[in-house]
Amino acid sequence: MSIYELKPSYSLSVKGNILFSEPVGSWDDVIGLSYCNRFKEKAAKFKGANWAQFLDLSRWQLGAPSLEPLIIDLSCWAYENGLKYTAVLYYPNALKTYQIDKMLAKEASNYSRRHFTNDKDAVAWLSGKGFRDDLIIK
């Protein structure tokens, strides 16, 4: 299956204090709302503890403009509920970077987001922030 044929979907899982998320395909507000609701359900398990997100965007193909306010609201909710670090994985793409930067803060009080092109560097960064290596394996 070509990347241009990817059906919009996502996977979310929690290991330790890390939420792994992998959006796939081209998104609109319908899939975005489903993702936001499920994300909050998963993240609620952290119960106010500090946590990180490993966001794999390697198979995500951008979102409709109607998606952006949903993700901005989700991001604010996540910061208010203990998210401290987001490791974002994808091959460099100007349009993808532009949309990600519109939706996710890069730096904020007690929060940091970094872009990586490979799992190894993302794992090393999160490990350096206090998240154990054995919890960072996808």
Here the CATH number for the domain that contains residue 19 is 3.30.750.24
Q: Is residue 67 part of a domain?
A: yes
Per-residue pLDDT of 92-122, as tens digits, reads 899 999 999 999 988 888 999 999 999 999 9
Which of 5 and 31 is assigned the larger pLDDT? 31
Instruction: Note the pTM of the prediction, 2 decimals.
Output: 0.91
pLDDT of residue 48: 81
Domain-located, residue 121: yes
CA dihedral over 120, 1, 67, 11, signed as positive or negative: negative
- Tell me what pLDDT residue 132 has: 77
pLDDT, position 81: 94
**Into how many domains does the chain fold?**
1
Rounded CA separation 138/122 (Å)? 11
137 lies in a domain? no
- 55 burial type by CB count under 10 A (0-12 exposed, 13-18 middle, 19+ buried): buried
Domain presence at residue 138: no
pLDDT of residue 134: 53
Residue 134 falls inside a structural domain: no
Question: Is there a domain that residue 90 lies in?
Answer: yes
Domain housing 88: 3-129
